[in-house]
Structure 1
């Protein structure tokens, strides 16, 4: 099989499996001989911010490796990807090669399993096989959906640190319809005696996590914000909270990392598609915010950076998101919102999204493509903010719309 054939085959597996993801991973690891054993795993869950926290932690660990006389390798597993599936699996900031995806993917697809893996299950198993082959020491592991039943929770190797970045209402059909229920599901990644770091969240959610830590004898650290004089590689006021979670994760590891190395890692962290300025003239910022809490963080960062300014928003969402509330959050900052349909079977159609926004009393216009939406937005001479879906941001970045465009 070619790379394209392997990726197509995996991509067309079920998104949500019939079996619990945790159980599928357990079977995968059993068949593969548990490649994850011996790795130092940092397990990160949360409604928003887990990708940014993972990027910060990976960057700090790479800086620590560079500063150490004994080099170690840092693996990173995240989802979704923006442009290429290879983004999901990285070692020391370098993506897995297409040749390795083809080779390991073929191996996994040829396996006969009792349980039916999803697309996510295959990529997680691929990551563990690849990390084992490459003798990775530290693995920064981002959960997919939830925590307790998540595929990443099926590894036999206990994590060295667990972290929960934030709790908000998302995927309520799978995780529960209250903050306490969702916190309980996310807290399912916590293991006996393993240190836990949590970001800022409501009392209802934090109490659930605190109770779980007490039950399992885990030391709990509440992260707040890093010092304002620390330079961050990621733009946006909310990233200081994510950076704080990352710093506390590092401080809870069994290794010692000095403050200068932590600062160096924070300064060069990269996480494309999050508060990402892709053009200065015209000013275009893209952000993968795809739920109300994420959009609130985007709004607050825009307010802090550009006080009292109005923006032209371009919005595209998946149909299962709370898009009305998302639009309400940014509506006071704009006279109009342009809508686009994401290239996905799960996408909400641009016309339906525009109608829902118009019902809020906000001007909305459906567009055939992000190019036409940007062209229309440019006529208003306002900063352009694109948000609503990581897949949508991936389309734009994948098409090469960058700072050379005007």
Structure 2
């Protein structure tokens, strides 16, 4: 097949969406990815890579790290997932989605290798595997200086985890409970999967968190003879202040303190993500003997925008607070920051969750500051995972009943649900899923 238009590219990729939600044996899928990368010439090992795994904060840390690197003149490739707007968002250069033309050009170049895969013992790659292969291939061809790559799910068998270079920097963000059906039901089992991005002689950057998690990080780093750099958020991050426009904090590390660091992202947790990104950036720059200008660092942090991360928007005269928090850990952090920015306020919550989520652990964080909870639904088809459905709103309502919450409405139609939320006088919080956020953005654009 010849890719001539972006529509051709979308149609081609959609033909590789798995027909079932059962992903098969993870080790076989990973072997398939490695074989695919070999056919492409192993571009991932020709690149300087910063690889980010974790449960919460991966995307933010990727964006912040990329911004810092670009502020010092480096050309930065960034791979993220899922996307909010369209597939181009997953492959970025200097924090901008690649063009449709570039996407089509390089997808067309790798199609012969995709077709070779079909004839191999591994069979055809998945949509996600093709996107990751395309990302590394494109970044190599475009000669970027450094790649910041976010894992998809887990780490050990993730398609992104094919970089074997000893100079890779492995970054571990906060680890918690999510995707337990794939990663296990304990922090230990989840951490074991995620720390497997660490390769021999890598540099590992993280921060102090749950003891079970730290044990796995330290064990894997030791096993792989990797250098471990870590800080303690409680000790090293001080004086966090939040407003509707920015987060400000002090960060002390290695006997040096940077006071009043300002970032345009909102949330106490963004101080943690920023500190982790700063440490990652400094490590990369030091490894390559490049000078750091703190004036450029500070300036760049003031202009970061990440879709769906505690984003405040005006819509028809109403204030919308949009956040893609989709597990208990993320929702707890989001609500903690929300009530600090808006003390003593109640909100209209417009929520929906992807089918299969542990939404009871999410809901218990919402009820404290909800005037009314409007439960809706979404149907998302553009993530390369087939049809993504939201949980039945009535089931979510039943959980709220068990939590003795009565102030909720079920409005399955998303357009009607948004209109219903707009009828209230309170500020509107839209949260529960990045897939929901993507559908909301489509509505807001109409």
Instruction: Say whether the fold is shared (TM-score over 0.5).
Output: yes
Match of 1:348 in 2: 391
Q: 3-state DSSP class of the match of 1:139?
A: strand
Do residues 18 (structure 1) and 58 (structure 2) align?
Answer: no
Match of 1:59 in 2: 67
Aligned counterpart in structure 1 of residue 212 of structure 2, from 204, 207, 214? 204
More deviation, 358-367/47-56: 358-367
Q: 3-state DSSP class of the match of 1:37?
A: helix
Relative to structure 1, the CA distance from residue 386 to residue 46 in structure 2 (aligned partners, 3 Å threshold; closer, same or farther) is: same
Relative to structure 1, the CA distance from residue 159 to residue 9 in structure 2 (aligned partners, 3 Å threshold; closer, same or farther) is: farther
Do residues 213 (structure 1) and 244 (structure 2) align?
Answer: no
Aligned counterpart in structure 2 of residue 95 of structure 1, from 67, 81, 97? 97
1:284–1:385 CA contact under 8 A, matched in 2: yes
**Residue 264 of structure 1, CA deviation:** 2.5
Match of 1:291 in 2: 327
Match of 2:177 in 1: 169
**Residue 58 of structure 1, CA deviation:** 0.5
Match of 2:253 in 1: none
Match of 1:68 in 2: none
RMSD (Å), alpha carbons: 2.0
In 1, distance between residues paired with 2:413 and 2:201? 51
In 1, distance between residues paired with 2:390 and 2:342? 31
**Residue 44 of structure 1, CA deviation:** 0.2
Aligned counterpart in structure 2 of residue 235 of structure 1, from 248, 252, 266? 266
Aligned counterpart in structure 2 of residue 188 of structure 1, from 193, 196, 208? 196
In 1, distance between residues paired with 2:12 and 2:409? 36
Tell me which of the two structures has the higher relative contact order, counting C-alpha pairs closer than 8 angstroms and 6 or more residues apart. Answer: 1
Match of 2:246 in 1: none
**Residue 30 of structure 1, CA deviation:** 0.8
- Alignment gaps of 5+ in structure 2: 238-248, 251-258, 381-387
Q: 3-state DSSP class of the match of 1:140?
A: strand
In 1, distance between residues paired with 2:428 and 2:444? 17
Match of 2:11 in 1: 8
Match of 1:395 in 2: 439
1:164–1:198 CA contact under 8 A, matched in 2: yes
Relative to structure 1, the CA distance from residue 184 to residue 250 in structure 2 (aligned partners, 3 Å threshold; closer, same or farther) is: same
Q: 3-state DSSP class of the match of 2:430?
A: strand
- Alignment gaps of 5+ in structure 1: 66-71
Q: 3-state DSSP class of the match of 1:361?
A: coil
**Residue 104 of structure 1, CA deviation:** 2.8
In 2, distance between residues paired with 1:34 and 1:125? 9
**Residue 42 of structure 1, CA deviation:** 0.3
More deviation, 118-127/148-157: 148-157
**Structure with more of its chain in strand, by fraction:** 2
Aligned counterpart in structure 2 of residue 277 of structure 1, from 303, 312, 317? 312
TM-score scaled to structure 1, two decimals? 0.92
Q: How does 1:221-260 map to 2 (within 5 A)?
A: 221-223=229-231, 224=233, 225=237, 227=250, 229-253=260-284, 254-255=287-288, 256=290, 257-260=292-295
Match of 2:77 in 1: 75
More deviation, 253-262/283-292: 253-262
**Residue 357 of structure 1, CA deviation:** 2.1
Q: 3-state DSSP class of the match of 2:60?
A: helix
Match of 2:384 in 1: none
**Residue 207 of structure 1, CA deviation:** 1.5
Q: 3-state DSSP class of the match of 2:379?
A: coil
In 2, distance between residues paired with 1:295 and 1:155? 32
Match of 2:375 in 1: 339
1:81–1:87 CA contact under 8 A, matched in 2: yes
**Residue 282 of structure 1, CA deviation:** 1.1
Relative to structure 1, the CA distance from residue 184 to residue 389 in structure 2 (aligned partners, 3 Å threshold; closer, same or farther) is: same
**Residue 258 of structure 1, CA deviation:** 3.2
Do residues 369 (structure 1) and 407 (structure 2) align?
Answer: no
In 2, distance between residues paired with 1:401 and 1:324? 31
In 1, distance between residues paired with 2:273 and 2:357? 23
In 2, distance between residues paired with 1:266 and 1:349? 39
4+ aligned runs moved over 4 Å, structure 1:
none
Aligned counterpart in structure 2 of residue 112 of structure 1, from 89, 110, 116? 116
TM-score scaled to structure 2, two decimals? 0.84
**Residue 16 of structure 1, CA deviation:** 5.9
**Residue 158 of structure 1, CA deviation:** 4.3
Deviations 1:113-133 (A, max 9, x none): 132322211111111121122
**Residue 76 of structure 1, CA deviation:** 0.4
2:415–2:443 CA contact under 8 A, matched in 1: no
2:201–2:225 CA contact under 8 A, matched in 1: yes
1:339–1:366 CA contact under 8 A, matched in 2: yes
